[in-house]
Amino acid sequence: MTTTLRIASAQLNPTVGDVAGNLELVREYRRMAGDAGADLVIFPELMLIGYPPEDLVLKPAAVRACAEALEALAGDPGPAILVGVPWDDDGKLRNAVALIDAGKVQALRFKRELPNYAVFDEKRVFESGPLPEPVDWRGVKLGLPICEDIWFEHAPRALAEKGAELFISINGSPWRRTIEADRKRAFSRWGDLKIPLIFVNQVGGQDELVFDGASFSWDAAGKEVQRLKGFATDLSIADWEKGEDGWVCKHAERADVVGGLDADWQAMRLALADYVDKNGFPGVVLGMSGGIDSAISAAIATDALGPDRVWAVMMPSKYTSQDSLDDAKACAEALGVRYDIIDVEPAIAAFGGMLAPVFEGRDADATEENIQSRVRGVTLMALSNKFGPMVLSTGNKSEMAVGYATLYGDMNGGYNALKDVYKTEVYALARWRNDRNAPVGFGPAGEVIPERIITKAPSAELKPDQTDQDTLPDYDVLDAMLECLVEQEGDPNTLVAAGHDAATVARIENMLYRAEYKRRQAPPGVKIGPKNFGRDRRYPITNKFRASKTKL
C-alpha cells in the first residue's frame, strides 16, 4: 500500500473548444510534473474542452474529439493524471473526471451536483451522475468530487461513508469578489469529515467569466497547507504522507492570497488579455476622451497586453475642452501607448447638414448629442476594420445600469473591461493603480492616470458646460441605489426609508428597466461583483413592472 505521494496541481488556462491545444497543455505539464518526480498530476474541470463549454458539448464531434484526446493521453508515458472531460455515458452526456495510469483510463467519475443558477446552466447540457464512489488507486481510496459537488454535503459524505481517504476536486470555479469567503463557507458544511482536500481550479478569462486559479490544499482540520498563485498559470508540487491519523501534507508552497482592488484589477487585466488573445486580435483601439473611464480602460489594456498593443484615439469636437485634450495626451504618454487625434467635427457637421431639412423647426436635444457619439463609434470601428485591433468599449456599470450611453456610439466595441465596475469603484481603482510602485502586468509602474482626470467633474462633453450630474444623481448616491436595486434585487421603498428622495429613486428604477434593451446589445465584459449584467441578471426587455409605483 502506498504511504507517500508526490502530487502536482496543474492550474492551467485552457481555451474553450481548442481540444488539440488543451491536449498539448496537459502533455506539457504532465512532462514537467514527471520531471519533478510527481506520482499524480491534477488538471482542472473539463480541461480538454475548456470551461464553460456551454452548448458546444451538444455537438457529438466535440465530445468525440475529447474522447480521442483522452485515449491519446492514456497512450503517453508519464505519471498518473486526473483530467476533466465531457463524456458520453451510454447516451447520457456527463461532466466527468478520468483517472489515467499505466497506459489506460483506470476510472471515470461523474459530477452529481450540476449548478443551474447565476452564471451557470449545466443542467442544460449535462445529466447528473450518481452519488460517487471512491477510486482505489495504488491502495489509496481517492474521493473525486467535481467542483459543485463540494459545495454541498451529499457527495463528500457519500464518499466518506465508503472509505475515501483523500478528496481531490477538479474545478472550473469562476472568480468574484466574495469567492474566497464563499468557498470556505460552503466547504465547511462537510468539514467535520476530517478528510484532506486538494482543490485544483482553472485560471483565465472566458467571455464574461474569469477564473482566478488560487488552487489550494487543506489538511484534515481544514487548515490551508498549499496555495497556488492567483490569476496566473501555476504548477505546484506537494508531498503527502500517510500516518496513523490519515494523509498529511509534509511539504508544499503557499502563494499569497490576491484580494481587494488588486484582485479586481487582476481579474479585469486577465479577462481582457485572454479575450483579445484567444480571439486572435492584434491589440485594442479605444477612444481616449480625457475622462476617467477611458483612462482606466487604457491602463487595464496596457497592463493586459503591453503598450505596443494599445491604440488610444482622441476624437475632439467643438465641445471638447483643452483640459480634456491635455489630459488624454498625458495619460497616453504615461502609459506609453500609441496616441492619435482625429477631428470628428467635419463628420458631425456633415450629419447636421444632411438632417437639417427634416429637423427644421426642432430644437437641438439628445439627438444631436448621440450623433456625436455615433460618429466617434464609426471612427473607431473604421480603424478596427482597417488595421485589425478590437474596439475596447469604456462605459462603467453605473452608466450601463441607467442607459447613460449611446447605442452604436460609445457602446461600440468587442469587449468592456469596466462593464461590472461602478463609477465610484472606477475612482478607487484609479487611485490604487497610480500607487503601484512596481509594474502591473505589462504596464509601467507609478502614476499613469493624471490627477486632474480623477478630480475633475465627469462630462460627456456633448454640449457646452455639460456634466454627468446634469442628468444623474451624484455617483455615490446613484451607486448606492444601484447596489440595492441590482446587486440585492432590493425594494425601492428600502432606499426611501434609508433617506433617498422618493422621486429620484423611482426615476432611477425606471431608467434601470428601460435600459435593458441597450444592455442586450452591449459588448461582453468580465464579471467582478455578485451580479453582472448578462449571464447573472436576465430581465425582460418589455417590462412594465415598477416596484416604486405598484399598488395592488
The answer to whether the annotation marks 550 as part of a ligand binding site is no
306 grid coordinates:
503591453
What number of other Cβ atoms are within 10 A of residue 89's Cβ? 12
Measuring CA to CA, which residue among 463, 427, 196, 186 is closest to residue 348?
Answer: 463
Return all residues near 308 (Cβ < 8 A) that are at least 6 apart.
283, 338
Domain 261-472+515-546 classified CATH 3.40.50.620?
yes
CA dihedral 502, 508, 510, 511 (to 10 degrees): 160
**To the nearest 5 percent, what fractions of the chain are helix, strand and coil?**
40, 20, 40
The answer to whether the annotation marks 294 as part of a ligand binding site is yes
Q: How far is CA 260 from CA 276, 293, 425, 427, 478, in A?
A: 25, 20, 11, 14, 22
Q: Please confirm whether the linkage preceding 492 is cis (ω < 30° from 0).
A: no
The answer to whether the annotation marks 518 as part of a ligand binding site is yes
User: Which residue numbers are catalytic?
Assistant: 45, 111, 147
Distance separating alpha carbons of residues 189 and 258, to the nearest angstrom: 24
Query: Are β-strands 80-89 and 92-101 bridged in parallel, bridged antiparallel, or unpaired?
Result: antiparallel
308 grid coordinates:
505596443
The answer to whether the annotation marks 237 as part of a ligand binding site is no
Measuring CA to CA, which residue among 526, 72, 12, 498 is closest to residue 233?
Answer: 12
Domain 4-249 classified CATH 3.60.110.10?
yes
395 grid coordinates:
462605459
The answer to whether the annotation marks 467 as part of a ligand binding site is no
Map out the domains of the chain as residue ranges: 4-249, 261-472+515-546
Going residue by residue through the chain, which has 552 residues, state the pLDDT in tens, using 9 for 90 and above.
789 999 999 999 999 999 999 999 999 999 999 999 999 999 999 999 999 999 999 999 999 999 999 999 999 999 999 999 999 999 999 999 999 999 999 999 999 999 998 889 999 999 999 999 999 999 999 999 999 999 999 999 999 999 999 999 999 999 999 999 999 999 999 999 999 999 999 999 999 999 999 999 999 999 999 999 999 999 999 999 999 889 999 999 999 999 999 999 999 999 999 999 999 999 999 999 999 999 999 999 999 999 999 999 999 999 999 999 999 999 999 999 999 999 999 999 999 999 999 999 999 999 999 999 999 999 999 999 999 999 999 999 999 999 999 999 999 999 999 999 999 999 999 999 999 999 899 999 999 999 999 999 888 878 888 788 888 899 999 999 999 999 999 999 999 999 999 999 999 999 999 999 999 999 999 999 988 998 888 898 989 888 887 655
Q: How far is CA 498 from CA 479, 481, 550, in A?
A: 14, 10, 19
Measuring CA to CA, which residue among 201, 210, 208, 200 is closest to residue 174?
Answer: 210
The answer to whether the annotation marks 475 as part of a ligand binding site is no
Sign of CA dihedral 535, 51, 255, 219: positive
Its pTM stands at 0.95
Distance separating alpha carbons of residues 96 and 83, to the nearest angstrom: 8
